[in-house]
């Protein structure tokens, strides 16, 4: 039997510990993935690609077509209003 109580103050300690440990593992994985993404952007930059534009393209690719069209229309409207 475990030295740790299974319930403390109405909280299932084992379940809580399990959830916290899972979150911690995922945070570590997220940190590693973020590092990998930074490496890829650095590689792209060294190959002559514009990283800022790449990030914008990735953002656009995440949007559905209707939202993308609406954003482009608003951007064009604002540019016309400002004579850009």
pLDDT tens, residue by residue, 28-70: 999 999 999 999 999 999 999 999 999 999 999 999 999 999 9
Counting other chains too, the contacts that 64-71 makes at CB distance below 8 Å and 24 or more residues apart are none
Half-sphere exposure of 3 (CA within 13 A, CB side): 0
Q: Three-state SS for 12?
A: strand
Say what the pTM is.
0.69
Q: Other CB atoms closer than 10 Å to residue 71's CB: what's the count? A: 13
Mean pLDDT of the chain: 93
The separation between CA 65 and the C-alpha centre of its own chain, rounded to angstroms, equals 21
């Amino acid at each position: 039997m475990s030295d740790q109580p299974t319930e403390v103050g109405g909280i299932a300690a084992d379940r809580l510990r399990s959830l916290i440990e899972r979150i911690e593992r995922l945070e570590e994985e997220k940190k590693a993935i973020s590092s990998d993404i930074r490496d890829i952007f650095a590689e792209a930059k060294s190959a002559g690609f514009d990283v800022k534009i790449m990030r914008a393209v990735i953002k656009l690719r995440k949007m559905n077509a209707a939202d993308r069209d609406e954003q482009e229309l608003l951007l064009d409207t604002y540019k016309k209003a400002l004579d850009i």
